Structure 1
Amino acid sequence: MASNMSENKLLNILTDMKHYHKGYAEYCRKTTKWQELQKWTECAEFESNVVTNLSKKLSGQMDQQIRVLGVGSGDGILEIYQLQKLAAKFPKISASVVEPSELITKYKDTAGRNPVADNITFEWHHRTFDEYLACNGYDKKYHFISVVHAVYFLGDPEVFMKKLYKLLEPGGVLLLILLTDHTGSGSIPLHQSGLKDDTTTNNFVNSSQVKATLEKLQIEYTQSMYTESTDITDFITNDNSEEGDLLLDFLTYTINFKKSAPDDVRDRMMHHFKQGSRIEKTGDGDEKIYFKATCDILFVTKREYAGEYAK
């Protein structure tokens, strides 16, 4: 039974990557995230903000290779769609992938079995973003940088935004997709403040912080959003579901959350999940509980002259 003592510390899931990947696999089975992001990538918004914007900026260089960087690319589910869109417009693409986890192997396998496009070459960097910069520096600039649900792991928003912006070519586009702080999983750290035994999730970065940082640095951006849903029926209705517990651990970034969290924190969190959910009936009459999360999509286009951060 969990203790009521609020001084109990929760163990961050990132301290056990095997457990993290089990939770991530369960999350991928239960979320609409990738379907929603695929729809978004195929819509006019990605085309106009990224593909068309870049083609205008690079109109005199269309026969040259454009450079694309993925930061925290995971298994490449979304990045492959993005690259296919770009490959239809640009004749040569060099894609650099930075991913510290073993998910990069899945990305490599997918790209190897089903080539994304004949005009794309890949560079694989199995390391963190900071490790990548330590090895490669800023000599190589990129026309498009994609950071999808990865800013949470990059540290101080002002520091990583300066690094990302410095890697952009003038006229290049930076895409950031991340949770808002007022709905869904983005608000979870508010319920766990001070309980983690490390700084990773105590300093969880959300879209409000990133937008405030961009404004402070006087970096212009445009914004849109999408909504995703995750089927949390298993851990809401079944106390003995291993799959449900793995999903709960992933969403709370905690190992064995249900058993290790103090009673007050666990109760508050379960209330939060229920409050942010909707119930839908399936075709066979069963009920499913879906937890909704809103995510911001931020586009940054680097000005031809961008002052200090263009250096």
Structure 2
Amino acid sequence: MASSKLTTKSLTHDPSHYAKTFSVYARLSAKYQVLATWTDTVFPSVIVDKLSPVSNAEEKLNILGIGSGTGGMDCNMITQLLKKFPSIANTVLEPAADHIEGYKKLLESKGFGSDVDFNWRQQTWDEYYKECKQVNQIKKFHFISAIHSLYYVEDLESTILDLINCLEEGGVLLMIAVSDDSGFWRLWKRFPMFADDLYRQINSGDIRRILDTHQIGYKAITQESRVDITCCYEDGNQDGVLLTDFLNHVVNLRECSSQSFVDEVLSYMRGEDCTVQNGDQLLFNNDWQAIIVTK
């Protein structure tokens, strides 16, 4: 339906534009502050306390981050993990070279020192796991995180099962995705503009259904989050242009679509299915869900 009205492309195929749109989204959603608060207040009890002690005093806690980006969430989690585990080996999977550099730069201010070893892998999960299988060396981890990164795997079901297979006994897998009750998901469902070989429009309900099908126990925790989309309705506001692109996961929606279609999208974005009004602010439902599997 929507694709016939578009001459643009998915954000996944334009990393430079993606970076610009994501920056606006992160600022207007207080993304990093919400994640930091969650890591400080929820993560210790639902992850750290559930992790089994390593088998001997000399063994490191082995952790794996999938799509770790510039490391903000990873570093917050490591800070909490170090309170229980004095030595950590962290494998970082991140396909974007500039994100890895940003992660390394962030570490300069963290002071982890020799307490944390880093194994940098400029790869996607699919590339990494295929490589491991080819040499018949599937490494096991005590903790694996996939935070807003499962949209980019080739096969969601096989990936989740493979991730669980990569856990040590007593290990924990943390998966975070947009909630199936969020404005994000309702918008994507109403206007399924781009879901392709690099990006899939999945939600937390998809993850839960896979786990239910395979009778795998889990804990699901929903985190409320809002994005101020008021700027999307202000003429000439460049933040609004970029944020509209990010929410719809497209490049230059306003330039590459008919005005009637843009109006339809903008009207739905601000409607009650996606947004609540707080005074002069339009707050888009950005809820996400953490799904936690203990092996």
State TM-score, norm by structure 2.
0.89
What is residue 278 of structure 1 aligned with on the other side?
A: 276
How many Å separate the matches in 2 of 1:266 and 1:199?
25
**How far 1:212 sits from its partner (Å)?**
0.6
- Out of 217, 220, 224, the residue aligned to residue 221 of structure 2 is 224
Q: Please tell me whether the aligned partners of residues 195 and 201 of structure 2 are also in contact (alpha carbons under 8 angstroms).
A: no
CA distance in 2, matches of 1:197, 1:86: 35
1:204 counterpart letter in structure 2: Q
Q: In the TM superposition, what is the alpha-carbon distance from 1:5 to its structure 2 partner?
A: 8.6
The 8 Å contact of residues 60 and 87 in structure 2, kept in 1 or not, is answered as yes
Tell me the matched-pair count: 288
Q: 1:33 aligns with which of 9, 31, 41?
A: 31
Distance 1:197 1:158, change over 3 A: closer
Q: 1:205 aligns with which of 179, 202, 206?
A: 202
Of 107, 129, 133, the match for 2:129: 133
**CA deviations over 1:88-132 (Å, ceiling 9, x no partner):** 110210011111122222111101343345411111111211112
1:80 paired residue among 69, 75, 78: 75
Give the corresponding residue for 2:160: 161
- What is the aligned partner in structure 2 of residue 64 from structure 1? 59
**Higher alpha-carbon deviation: 95-104 or 82-91:** 95-104
Deviation, structure 1 residue 14: 0.9
Structure 2 counterparts to residues 65-214 of structure 1, below 5 A: 65-101=60-96, 102-116=98-112, 118-137=114-133, 138-193=137-192, 195-196=193-194, 198-201=196-199, 203-214=200-211
Determine if contact 2:64/2:141 at 8 Å carries over to the other structure: yes
- The corresponding residue for 1:305 is none
The residue matched to 2:289 in structure 1 has which SS?
A: strand
8 Å Cα contact 1:258/1:266 also seen in 2: yes
Q: 1:13 aligns with which of 11, 15, 28?
A: 11
2:154–2:197 CA contact under 8 A, matched in 1: no
What 5-or-longer segments of structure 1 have no aligned partner? 282-286, 303-311
2:282 match: secondary structure: strand
Contact 1:64 1:91 in 2 (8 A): no
Over 3 Å counting, the alpha-carbon distance change for 1:62 and 1:252 in structure 2 is: farther
Task: Give the structure-1-normalised TM-score.
Answer: 0.85
List alignment gaps of at least 5 residues for structure 2.
none
* Cα separation, partners in 2 of 1:187 and 1:10, compared to 1, 3 Å: farther
Partner SS, residue 171 of structure 1: strand
Question: 1:308 aligns to what?
Answer: none
The one-letter code matched in structure 2 to 1:142 is F
1:6 shift after superposition = 3.7
Q: Report the AA paired with residue 91 of structure 2.
A: S
